[in-house]
């Protein structure tokens, strides 16, 4: 029994070590639109990330400024007909990932009612892979949005590249967002 406990402790240390080797993602990041490739339907003008990175967690607070649609009133409204959820993967908000590779769930209110979200993070090569599965009810029934983001650092940790694949009821959306440390 003692050997099992020792092996489990070594595995936990190795897992945390793998995340530490992928770099420090902590800090404030600003989207470089000129170097990014995104779907124009999202109407993104700018994105700022405030990332807190510890050996155990990665917390991402996202602030998005959107282009005002032509003909929209003061409220603006949703663009592209898709509800936006919290964090980089859908809109403004804060998401915390545990860096032990385990999935955890949250529940929050959205424009369409209660949204259940499962998130996980794992080491992927020299970077991180963040996964989010959001389920929400709509007038057309339950909607599932699955997002996988691959994060990597370059330029001695001054550039963050986020490659995103999002599966939606309307099909797959791909984007590459390049951020600079501010």
Model confidence pLDDT, tens digit, residues 140-154: 888 899 999 999 999
Give the residue-averaged pLDDT of 95-106: 91
Its pTM surpasses 0.85: no
List CB contacts of 111: < 8 A, sequence separation 6 or more: 78, 83, 84
Q: What is the pLDDT of residue 70?
A: 65
pLDDT tens-digit profile of 15-29? 444 444 468 999 999
Question: Within its chain, how far is the Cα of 90 from the centroid?
Answer: 8
Q: What is the pLDDT of residue 110?
A: 62
Instruction: Please give the C-alpha separations between residue 85 and each of 28, 39, 136, in angstroms, as whole numbers.
Output: 21, 17, 10
- Is pLDDT at 68 greater than 80 in this prediction? no
- Is pLDDT at 30 greater than 80 in this prediction? yes
In sequence order, what DSSP letters do the residues of 75-130 get, joined into one string?
Answer: T---STT----SSTTTSSEEEEEETTS--EEEEEEETTEEEEEEEEEEEETTEEEE
Give the residue-averaged pLDDT of 41-66: 92
- Is pLDDT at 62 greater than 50 in this prediction? yes
Reported as a pLDDT band with limits 50, 70 and 90, residue 79 is very low
The answer to whether the CB of 127 falls within 8 A of the CB of 116 is no
Q: What is the pLDDT of residue 137?
A: 82
Q: What is the pLDDT of residue 36?
A: 96
Instruction: Please give the C-alpha separations between residue 175 and each of 131, 148, 163, 164, 172, in angstroms, as whole numbers.
Output: 15, 11, 6, 5, 10
Q: What is the pLDDT of residue 51?
A: 98
- Is pLDDT at 171 greater than 60 in this prediction? yes
Residue ranges of domains in the chain, CATH in brackets: 2-181 (2.40.128.20)
Give the residue-averaged pLDDT of 50-77: 80
List CB contacts of 60: < 8 A, sequence separation 6 or more: 49, 50, 51, 87, 88, 94, 95, 96, 97
């Amino acid at each position: 029994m003692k050997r099992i406990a020792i092996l489990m402790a070594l595995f936990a240390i190795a897992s945390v070590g793998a995340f530490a080797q992928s770099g420090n993602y902590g800090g404030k990041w600003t989207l470089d639109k000129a170097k990014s490739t995104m779907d124009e339907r999202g109407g993104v003008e700018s994105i700022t990330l405030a990332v807190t990175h510890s050996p155990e967690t990665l917390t991402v607070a996202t602030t998005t400024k959107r282009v005002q649609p032509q003909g929209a009133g003061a409220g603006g409204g949703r663009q592209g007909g898709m509800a936006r959820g919290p964090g980089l993967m859908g809109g403004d908000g804060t998401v915390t990932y545990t860096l032990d590779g385990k999935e955890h769930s949250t529940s929050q209110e959205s424009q369409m009612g209660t949204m259940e979200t499962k998130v996980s993070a794992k080491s992927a090569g020299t970077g991180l892979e963040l996964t989010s599965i959001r389920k929400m009810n709509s007038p057309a029934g339950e909607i599932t949005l699955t997002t996988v983001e691959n994060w990597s650092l370059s330029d001695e940790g001054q550039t963050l590249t986020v490659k995103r694949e999002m599966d939606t009821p309307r099909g797959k959306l791909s984007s590459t967002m390049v951020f600079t440390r501010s």
